[in-house]
């Protein structure tokens, strides 16, 4: 075998060996890195809230009657003491069954007969008074000439007075019977019948004026209908004065300090709205979660501080996203929570040191919104591996993943 051929075979063998060594040599593990840095941090409780008008005014029917069709609609502005928001008139009479109607018709006939009798008695009394008047005048003339004694004249005067009183009594009886006739006729009125006007000319309808300014938030029913006293008619409110209602788990609610600040986002408009906690209800309530678990929740009330012109379109009952800030710090060393994992009873992270992954125990403080405070174990600027693979080991060569 020639020397040239042996040299070629040696070169090929060396190349094959180099390729095999390169293939078997451990390659750096590609990882995602983040730096431990100092900065502000907030403890936040996130929840869904609902906007509420702070002091809605519910208007109810003060009397039982027939409510006219609503003169206002939802969204209409109203002026306190001027805008008519409802009108109630007396209810229509109810239908009568056959027996009741027959009795009412008989009562009308009886009243008509009584009126006729009273009218006849009145005419008789008028005739008697006219006769008594003539006799009294004749008696006075005869008594003046001495033809009849004074006692006879006194009798004629008494009969004259009695006739006058009899006529007055007959007239009163006629008026009484006529009123009884009207009462009997009123019993025959049915729905849609002619309404008998009030004797004093008073209006038959009750008009309700807006007790406060604002807009109409809700109308119970726009149609005309019979309402009972106390029935809800409509609700008024002022959208410039609003609050936010939300509920938290009772275990979260106890962490919220008095007067906590809140930020409102995802409300549909631009910017972040400011709010502040006003009250936490002292009693919790039970709610069944979507998973069928009983939860004890507590209702919280927040004052909306952002002025109305900065939140156009936000109305009653709108859903908003609330970030309730329970604590704040300005200069904390922090890393993404994705860089931490459990090691025994504590926490640990992989730190890149000289191109290798160094398993480092850490002491974790407060955590919030994907970030964790590092109390001990890391320094500012340390690079930590986020989302470390379960196969990553201490001392392994690592490189930062590109793209």
Nearest residue to 275 (alpha-carbon basis) of 308, 299, 303: 303
pLDDT at residue 352 in the model: 92
Angle between helix 98-145 and helix 150-186 axes, rounded to 10 deg: 160
pLDDT at residue 272 in the model: 93
29-73 pLDDT, tens digit per residue, is: 888 999 999 999 988 999 999 999 999 999 999 999 989 999 999
pLDDT at residue 257 in the model: 93
| CA–CA distance, 378 with 361 (Å, rounded to integer) | 9
> Longest Cα pair distance anywhere in the chain, in angstroms?
199
pLDDT at residue 200 in the model: 46
Starting at the earlier edge strand, list the strands of the sheet with 214-219.
57-60, 232-237, 214-219, 77-78
Low-confidence stretches of the chain (pLDDT < 70) are 1-10, 12-26, 191-204, 403
User: Cα torsion at 400, 401, 402, 403 (round to 10°)?
Assistant: -140
146-167 pLDDT, tens digit per residue, is: 788 888 888 888 988 998 899 9
Q: Distance from first CA to last CA of the chain, Å, rounded?
A: 54
Buried b (16+ CB within 10 A) or exposed e, 1-17: eeeeeeeeeeeeeeeee
pLDDT at residue 19 in the model: 61
Runs of H (alpha helix) within 146-206? 150-186
């Amino acid at each position: 075998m020639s020397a040239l051929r042996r040299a070629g075979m040696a070169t090929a063998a060396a190349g094959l060996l180099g390729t095999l060594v390169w293939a078997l040599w451990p390659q750096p593990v590609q990882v995602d890195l983040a730096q431990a840095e100092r900065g502000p941090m907030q403890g936040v409780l996130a929840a869904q809230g609902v906007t509420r008008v702070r002091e809605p005014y519910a208007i109810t029917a003060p009397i039982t009657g027939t409510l006219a069709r609503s003169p206002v609609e939802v969204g209409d502005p109203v002026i306190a003491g001027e805008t008519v928001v409802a009108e109630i008139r007396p209810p229509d009479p109810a239908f009568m069954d056959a027996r009741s109607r027959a009795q009412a018709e008989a009562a009308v006939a009886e009243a008509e007969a009584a009126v006729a009798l009273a009218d006849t008695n009145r005419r008789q009394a008028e005739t008697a008074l006219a006769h008594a008047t003539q006799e009294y005048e004749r008696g006075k003339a005869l008594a003046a000439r001495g033809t009849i004694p004074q006692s006879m004249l006194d009798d004629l005067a008494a009969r004259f007075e009695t006739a006058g009183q009899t006529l007055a009594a007959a007239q009163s009886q006629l008026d009484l019977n006529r009123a009884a006739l009207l009462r009997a006729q009123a019993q025959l009125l049915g729905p849609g019948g002619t309404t008998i006007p009030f004797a004093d000319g008073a209006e038959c309808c009750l008009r309700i004026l807006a007790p406060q300014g604002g807009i109409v938030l809700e109308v119970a029913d726009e149609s005309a209908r019979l309402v009972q006293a106390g029935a809800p008619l409509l609700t008024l409110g002022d959208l410039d004065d609003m609050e936010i209602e939300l509920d938290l788990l009772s275990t979260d609610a106890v962490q919220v300090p008095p007067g906590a600040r809140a930020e409102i986002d995802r409300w549909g408009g631009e910017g972040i709205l400011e709010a502040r906690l006003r009250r936490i209800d002292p009693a919790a309530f039970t709610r069944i979660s979507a998973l069928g678990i009983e939860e004890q929740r507590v209702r919280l009330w927040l004052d909306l501080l952002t002025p109305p012109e900065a939140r156009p379109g936000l109305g009653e009952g709108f859903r908003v996203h609330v970030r309730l800030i329970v604590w704040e710090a300005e200069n904390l060393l922090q890393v993404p929570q994705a860089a931490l994992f459990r090691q025994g009873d504590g926490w640990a992270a992989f730190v890149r040191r000289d191109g290798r992954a160094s398993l480092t125990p850490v002491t974790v403080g407060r955590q919030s919104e994907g970030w964790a405070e590092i109390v001990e174990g890391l320094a500012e600027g340390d690079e930590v591996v986020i989302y470390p693979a379960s196969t990553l080991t201490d001392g392994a060569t690592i490189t930062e993943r590109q793209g």
